[in-house]
């Protein structure tokens, strides 16, 4: 039941439509909590029924109408209480790690390629994180308290990303050496 809280969290400062929320999830909170647009639309509806969000239609020029959602007082209270409840970590699930358990002379080339792709993707993501950090969190101590929490989450993303890059390099090195050994035969 925590997608609901992630969504409400995204609405703390600004009202958003499902579409905007889905994109915000891609860029910010979604780095720590991913959700497809279908999930988001369904959850928004449920939250509105519960009275934690209000909805209003907004006509737009040149675009279809949208439905803006905002936190109600009840929603804010529910969110505030939730912070004290037990956290759960849903460990990430990664096929690649399972594949590594199956490393063989046959598939080593493929796994090197896959790791290389991961490296590239993580690099892109780190550029994004760094850009966000520079633009919005250049001087974190000066920020209001809540934003410092967001900064810490971003910081975790950055550290984790850098560590992942380091691992990719280490793995690629090891695999390259092993493949050389194989080729030498």
Partner DNA sequence: CCCCCGTATGCAAAATATTGCATACCTGCC
Partner DNA sequence: GGCAGGTATGCAATATTTTGCATACGGGGG
> For residue 18, how many other CB atoms are within 10 A of its CB?
21
Part in contact with DNA (CB under 7 A); list of ranges 58-66, 105-113, 126-134, 164-172: 58-66
From residue 102, give the alpha-carbon distance in Å to each of 75, 93, 96, 177: 47, 16, 10, 18
Q: How far apart are the C-alpha atoms of 126 and 101, rounded to whole Å?
A: 27
By CB under 7 A, residue 54 contacts DNA: no
**Rounded to the nearest whole angstrom, what is the least distance from the CB of residue 158 to a second copy in the complex?**
9
Asked whether the CA dihedral 38, 16, 128, 156 is positive or negative, the reply is negative
Asked whether the CA dihedral 2, 55, 153, 130 is positive or negative, the reply is positive
By CB under 7 A, residue 38 contacts DNA: yes
Cβ(160)–Cβ(126) under 8 Å?
A: no
Q: How far apart are the C-alpha atoms of 15 and 1, rounded to whole Å?
A: 21
Beta bridge partners of 35: none
Part in contact with DNA (CB under 7 A); list of ranges 29-37, 111-119, 147-155, 174-182: 29-37
Residue choice 145, 180, 183, 185 for contact with a second copy (CB under 8 A) = 145
Residue choice 98, 135, 138, 142 for contact with a second copy (CB under 8 A) = 98
Q: Which is nearer to a second copy, 60 or 90 (CB)?
A: 90
Cβ(58)–Cβ(68) under 8 Å?
A: yes
Judged by beta carbon distances under 5 to 8 A according to partner kind, the member of DNA, a second copy, none in contact with residue 99 is: a second copy
By CB under 8 A, residue 21 contacts a second copy: no
**Encoded tokens for 166:** 């380091």
By CB under 7 A, name the binding residues for DNA: 1, 3, 17-20, 34-39, 41-42, 44-45, 60-67, 90, 93
By CB under 8 A, name the binding residues for a second copy: 2, 5-6, 9, 12, 29, 31-34, 79-80, 82-84, 87-108, 110-111, 114, 140-141, 145-146, 148-150, 152-153, 155-156, 159-160, 162-164, 166-167, 170-171, 174-175, 177-178
């Amino acid at each position: 039941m925590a997608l609901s809280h992630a969504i409400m969290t995204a609405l703390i400062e600004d009202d958003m439509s499902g579409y905007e929320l889905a994109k915000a999830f891609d860029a910010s909170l979604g780095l720590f909590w991913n959700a497809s647009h279908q999930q988001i639309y369904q959850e928004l509806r449920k939250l509105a029924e519960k009275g934690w969000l209000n909805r209003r239609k907004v006509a737009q020029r040149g675009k279809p109408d949208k439905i803006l959602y905002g936190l109600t007082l009840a929603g804010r209270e529910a969110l505030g209480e939730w912070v004290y409840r037990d956290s759960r970590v849903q460990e990430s699930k990664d096929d690649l790690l399972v594949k590594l358990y199956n490393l063989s002379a046959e598939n080593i080339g493929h796994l090197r390629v896959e790791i290389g792709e991961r490296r590239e993707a993580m690099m892109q993501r780190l550029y994004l994180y760094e850009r966000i950090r520079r633009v919005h969190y250049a001087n974190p101590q000066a920020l209001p308290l809540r934003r410092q929490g967001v900064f810490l989450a971003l910081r975790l993303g950055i550290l984790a990303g850098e560590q992942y890059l380091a691992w990719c390099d280490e793995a690629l090195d090891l695999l390259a050496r092993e493949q050389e050994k194989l080729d030498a035969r």
